[in-house]
A and B are shown apart, each in its own frame.
Chain A
Amino acid sequence: MRVALYITCLNDTLYPQTGQSVVTLLRRLGCDVAFPAAQTCCGQMHFNSGYRPAATRLARRVRRQVAGFDAVVTPSPSCAGMMRDQYPVLGVRQETPVYELSEFLVDVLGVVDVGAVFPHRVSYHPTCHSLRGLRVGDRPLRLLRAVSGLELAELPAADSCCGFGGTFAVKNAAVSTAMLADKVAAVHAARPEVLCALDNSCLMQIGGGLSRAGSAVRVMHLADILAAR
């Protein structure tokens, strides 16, 4: 299976480790992974901020880059949602199927146990776009439960938004920070060593809050846990 990895602009710049983990994981599971080198951004920031002509141009770029692959895999539910649900709104017909990582592992490859070893106490934060956008359900939790040595610590009010929301985080910084404070308190109540999610954008918010609060809790993308041995 020829898979195009869509890394996302945020991961490319700030979290390249997650991209490397996705490559390691998919190759381990027998996929032929390619990285279309001309890729940049899916256009979500422009779309969600109201700049539709620019978003449309970026969407067309993505369509060109992933044409001919069997699947697009991306370690970001909100970018996957953009490509799957919003491109049609922009009139861009992109036909290569797009999967968020946990969907691809569970639904396409049919794997739950990827052979990972991660002997730590982990809480899982379901990001809004994975939970209510893509509706990934319990796929990420099934993957985490199969990780050897991993202990799951339930996060209180897990389905509450962390307050990131893209440009919302700076346009409405005060509200975003208030939402973050509650999320940080919930993480502390769960007492994990690691907070895991499917999207590094939300983890940038939560991790930024945890770090500012002097917390020892680390944030990790699901891919980074699943690639660990």
Chain B
Amino acid sequence: MGWQAVEGSFRDPSGFVYTRNGTLYRQVNHSFRDSFEAFLASGLYDELAQDGLLVPHRQVGLELSASSDAYAVLQPDRVGFISYPYEWSFGQLQDAATLTLEIQQRALARGFTLRDSSAYNVQFRGGRPVFIDTLSFEPLEEGKPWVAYKQFCEHFLLPLTLMSSRDVRCGQLLRTYIDGIPLDLGSALLPRRTWARLSTVLHIHLHAWALGRYADTAAGSAAKGRTMSRQRLLTLVKNLSDATRRLSWRAAGTEWAEYVTDNNYTPAASQAKRNLVMAHLRSANAQTVWDLGANTGEYSRAAREVAPQVISFDVDPAAVERNYRRARAEGETGILPLLLDLTNPSPAQGWAGRERLSLEQRGPADAVMALALIHHLAIGHNLPLEYIARYLARIGRHLIMEFVPKSDSQVKRLLLSRPDIFPGYTKEGFEDAFGRHYTIDAVQRIDESERWLYFMSPHSRPEV
């Protein structure tokens, strides 16, 4: 066979994505030939690719196809790290939504339409969202409504409205509902004041009501004789765009968003730690770095000076949002901030548990950084040190880890309201647990602090 399907792309009968010898390809099936040719001939592809809205591709020979119904084979540019909507901050989801609507507006202007508007069609590349599904475009049939309208509301507008108007943590509903948050659920969760906003009333509350009202009615009879002009479609899309842009969330007030300005490092200790981290990353020749517990990305930016791609994970939505806003404002291309609860990392899920990849399946990284994190996992979440070592050894080829002793004020803070049931949480206990999975290549005390920095390599190298 020689090829391996990318499991997230099987729902669309017009083609699918696969890898062959490590190279990513997209097959266009014969059934989609006319639409695809028209899309290319219209100039829409060139416009979107040149403006950085759509991932560019080059066409390769049919001998690289995966099945006999191939009409064309494309080799898209690689995106780098694949991320999912439930890992995005508010601003990232909002930017992805805005991109989708921008593309739909441009498509309509050229007589095309998006035939789906899944949030999974968007990835982050070079610090910006980019549309990755080249087969999402079809010629607009004059008079027809937008078939992906409901999908847009469920994947983007409703999650963003919930995050903005109810609680930012509602974004995590996307992890359970990977086909989008059901409108009836979202409508019930939204506060009453959202009934005073026309766009929310139309696109969410009445939309949810209409789905129930017409649940047993055939589309043909309900929409009989109705047509939608292109101008009306544009008005609808523009309203969705305005409604999406108007939503806001203030990224502040959470515990960890203030951590950078509320920690116990002296400037000298901070600089010493930064120098050590960069030296270790250089010696590891790291190309990809995962910064776990990155907060607003201070050390991710240090890592970025050494490695071209840094994924900056944190559990705190406000910290991730600030990190993303800073990366976007400063045009940083190599840092991707993402939301991740390391005690419950993104699982493999979707159909047969294979549609969306787990965090581990998207690794291993060349280097994993876990700075000022161990005490949160071991004491804050009762995770045995060896469990932590075992998991981290699977996701990175090198580990830079900071050990924070019990005498540190941050650990004391964690133990303020609970008995100390962690007799094994010592430097020796740490080295014993991690030594079972790692070779400790170097250990250094951070200047002007009681903390230690470890540089380790797993005994068995994690497989790609």
Q: Do A and B bind each other?
A: no
Which residues of A does B touch, CB under 8 Å?
A: none
Which residues of B does A touch, CB under 8 Å?
A: none
